[in-house]
Chain A
Amino acid sequence: MNQGQDQGVGFEERLLAELRVVVEERAAMPVDAGVERNRRHATESLHGRVSGDRRLAPRLAFGGAAVAAVAAGVLAVSSGTGDTSSAFAVEPQGDGMVRVEISSLSDAEGLEKALGEAGIKADVNYLAAGMTCQEPRSGAGGGHPEKGRMSVGIKQTPESAVFTINRDAVGAGDTLLVTASPMPAGGPGPEDGDMVGVQVAQGAVSACVPVPAPEALPPGAVTQSNGAPGSPHTTGPQQGFSRSSN
């Protein structure tokens, strides 16, 4: 409650006034700033992928800026239908590596807890189809890619996504971000497929604020080039993307 509010003007009108300012600010941005204005979501349909590669620029720039390492994949996992108890598996290996298998997008908190017990601080977000987390989530601008070089690769089976991560790669104060969402209807990926993005953020991270993703890739994901099916389009350390179908 605020004592200084205008009398006779309700919450809805005050909120409208504030939101109009936001829209006016966006309208005043030059056209060239459109990528920033619409960063990560506003230029393409939530439900379909546009042709061309211009969407790659901000995404790859992000991958090199605030994220130490990235791996992402589009999976053929049937989402939301498995029971919680088999939604994931976290298996510490003998060599300091931790194998993580995600078989359905449920029980994010359970996966978070299991990773914590394995010595990896994690923030897991399972979002609705076509959504991703608003970036940046980490204040560690620039980052130290060499520090973040780690063994993380993501691969798909018809039933799950599997990645293996070196426990030491997630240092004190770092957070493993796991972001996943189902493919949107009508999207380019496998029907009923899910996408899983894995990245290490340095320093404190903010809570995930869901926003629509232009082509429904999770934060930090990179995408295949149009002309070379099956060959990942990668930049920076340990980035990759692959797709499998049912």
Chain B
Amino acid sequence: METQQLDQIGTDPEAFEAFYRENVEGVQRFVARRVDDRDRAADLTAEIFLAAIASARTYDRRLGPPQAWLYGIARVTVAADRRSHGRERARIERVRGSALIGEDDIAAMDARIDAEARSRELYAAMDRLAEGERAVLELVVLDGLSVSEAAVAAGVRPVTARVRLYRARRKLRAALEGPSPSARPAVTKPKPIEEEGS
């Protein structure tokens, strides 16, 4: 999608559909790297796109690709759900994703969730990190964003993102099994963001 069209997705159904089709798979994988419950994953997918619709005009193309902006929305949506354990969230949303799951969807959704089991282990291990550090580490290690893209998604300067990434890796490594190289989580790096959506 042309970035100048992104600010139209909140009011132009055709622009939104193009944006949605480019990103729905990426968003579902993003969620599956963090959530192992099919219904919650579906609800969160809906919430993320609803938030994107509501805030499309906040996107500033000078700061990075639309997907980095979308991943920023996705990250805070999932993090808030994690903190609230999903309570009250589905009730207040305009669209409930879990109500849209059909029998034919289950296998594909479960397969997506199963494929990201190791990523979710790492996601859980990040609980010990400060929020700002966790944000950057998640986006770089789990989602395959570059540091500069992660900075856009986290809303910080690239130099801040680099510092936080360094600290986060160091803390996580120390917290897992000490400073040996094997302690660094080995997750399959997702495709770079540029290849996912544009």
Contacts and interface: CB of A to CB of B under 8 A. Distances in A.
A240 interface: no
A182 B83 CA distance: 18
A15 B45 contact: yes
Contacts, number: 201
A156 interface: no
A124 to B, nearest CB: 9
B145 interface: no
Contact of B55 (A104, A108, A211): A211
Given A24-B13, A27-B11, A182-B155, A42 B57 contact: yes
A15 B60 contact: no
B54 A38 contact: yes
Interface stretch (A64-72, A76-84, A92-100, A229-237): A76-84
B47 to A, nearest CB: 7
A48 interface: yes
A178 interface: no
Given A22-B50, A79-B132, A209 B89 contact: yes
Contacts of B42: 11, 15
Interface residues of B, number: 71
A244 interface: no
26 contacts: A1-B101, A9-B102, A11-B109, A15-B95, A19-B16, A19-B46, A23-B9, A27-B12, A37-B10, A44-B57, A47-B60, A47-B63, A48-B60, A80-B130, A81-B130, A125-B83, A128-B72, A128-B75, A128-B135, A131-B76, A182-B132, A186-B63, A192-B156, A209-B89, A210-B51, A212-B58
Interface of A: 1-2, 5-12, 14-16, 18-20, 22-24, 26-27, 37-38, 41-48, 79-84, 104-106, 108-109, 125-131, 182, 184-186, 191-192, 206-212, 214
Interface of B: 9-13, 16-17, 20-21, 24-25, 28, 42, 45-47, 49-51, 53-60, 63, 69, 72-73, 75-77, 79-80, 83-84, 87-89, 92-95, 97, 99-106, 108-109, 130-135, 151-152, 154-157, 160, 164, 167
